[in-house]
Amino acid sequence: MPNFGFEALVVLLILLPGFFAAHIVQSLCTRPQQSEFDKVIEALLYSFVTYLVFTALIGQVPLSMRVEPDGQAKLVSVETRVGPLLWLGLIALAVALILSFSTNNDLHGRVLRKLRFTQRTARNSVWSDVFHEPSGYVQVELVDGRNVLGWLKYYSDTPEESSLYLEDAAWIGPDNTKVPVKGPGILLTKESGIRTIMFLDPGS
């Protein structure tokens, strides 16, 4: 195998676990907008953690290089080990799932705030913080003055989208009378103009 092929394979092997882990984290967590450079840096960090755990647990590399004389030149070949490669993929998956769980539940954010290293949460925005914690009935005030009550079922990932889906929904009249929505629920999109969201006690 030519040297450039071996070097390309090494680079791919270094980056692939990181990109695999980053893709899983992106699909499970709400993340800020990233440039291509940011994505590569994140993949390198995930790869570093993956290889660190891999080396500690497995203690061998997933591929090896063999150099054999071929006349005046040298023949370079790469041998892959299926077992270590599978372990590498599993470790990358485990790293991504653990990080996703910690981010969505703000585990490492709580620890760092308690130690006074930061005041930030592990999540992307206040919108995400608010909707990850409480659940139940909410009363939404729209910019036109209307109010709608319902069980919070789904919400958008970012405040820019600002969409909510409410089950068991009802419009609140001027005299606080409830006009039930005929159907399973109501979707309030960004165009609805959400002004405030009140999270109600179970007995309200």
The sign of the CA dihedral 49, 53, 56, 62 is: negative
Contact 80, 63 (CB under 8 A): yes
Among 74-83, 116-125, 148-157, where is mean pLDDT lowest? Answer: 74-83
Coil/strand/helix, residue 18: helix
* Closest listed residue to residue 88, CA positions, set 11, 21, 25: 21
Judge contact between 122 and 113, C-beta under 8 A.
no
119-141 per-position pLDDT tens digit:
888 888 888 888 887 678 999 99
Average pLDDT over residues 114-121: 88
Mean pLDDT of the chain: 83
Domains, the chain, ordered by start: 3-113 (no CATH), 126-199 (2.30.30.100)
Predicted local confidence at residue 1, as pLDDT: 44
Question: Tell me, what's the pLDDT at 196?
Answer: 92
Write out the two tokens for 140: 């939404």
- Comparison of pLDDT for 99 and 10, the residue scoring more: 99
Model pTM score:
0.72
**Is pLDDT larger for residue 72 or for residue 26?**
26
CA distance 47 to 83: 18
Average pLDDT over residues 12-16: 77
> Which phi and psi (to 5°) does residue 178 adopt?
-105, 130
pLDDT in tens, 15-67: 888 999 999 998 888 877 788 888 888 888 998 899 889 888 877 666 666 66
101 pLDDT above the threshold of 60: yes
pLDDT of residue 51: 87
* Contact status, residue 152 vs residue 164, Cβ threshold 8 Å: yes
Which amino acid, one-letter code, is at 106?
D
